[in-house]
Amino acid sequence: MKESDLYPPVKTHLEALGFDVKAEIGAADVVGLRGDDMVVVELKRGFSLALFHQGIARLAVCDCVYVCVARGKGRPWLKSLRENVKLARRLGLGLMSVRMETGLVEIHCDPGPYAPRKVARRKRAMLREFERREGDPNLGGIRGARVTAYRQEATLCAEFLALAGEARGAEVAKSTGVARATTIMRDNHYGWFEKVTIGTYRLSDAGRSVASAG
């Protein structure tokens, strides 16, 4: 497939909207005119940084700019589509795709000013994690397991039980300063704790390994 294969479906789509359409006008892949309205479309076989660079450049001459790719298949492509729609919106670009088997053009977002919607719940969660985190044990950009405030608090509980043998949650909380000690041991997210009786816990073999390593 070539980028030029995207042009006929895009041309047909824009003509159905009343645009007079021509290809390769100046630096633009596709230009459509409808009275005083102008639309520019940049074509690529798939998502790339270059595609968005081109779209941004066309905003210097036209407010209505779309980037267009051939539609892929499967969940990975749909995930990529969602992320690139977010990017296009942030840049003020529209995004369309073409189903090459049928020539169907789908509009996923239209050009326009970007107004991000803040998610207060996520911000609160980040602030709580920042405040509870002791020190700065991670490296920015790492993948895989991270040291979280929750893990730090669970480690404190494990280290206390390594000395105490077994203890009630209230005692662990008072001695370690971990207010949610009982909940951490009851939920046993890491498999470090064993319930002795109601409200009383001791370490599992995995927990003893963690405590000795600390």
pLDDT, averaged across the chain: 90
Determine what percent of the chain is predicted with pLDDT higher than 90: 73
**Digit-coded pLDDT (tens) for 176-197:** 999 999 999 999 999 999 999 9
Q: Which domains, and CATH codes, for the chain?
A: 3-109 (3.40.1350.10), 120-135+146-213 (1.10.10.10)
Q: Pick 50 or 125 by higher pLDDT.
A: 50
Buried b (16+ CB within 10 A) or exposed e, 108-122: beebeeeeeeeeeee
Q: How many CB atoms lie within 10 A of CB 1?
A: 9
What is the per-residue pLDDT across 152-177, written as a single tens digit (0 to 9) for each? 999 999 999 999 999 999 999 999 99
Calculate mean pLDDT across residues 109-132. 81
Residue 40's pLDDT is: 95
State residue 132's pLDDT score: 84
Tell me which of 113 and 100 has the higher pLDDT. Answer: 100
User: What pLDDT is attached to residue 145?
Assistant: 74
Please give the helix or strand (H or E) that residue 47 lies within, else none.
none
Entry pTM: 0.61
Specify the 3-state DSSP secondary structure of 44. coil
pLDDT value at residue 130: 83
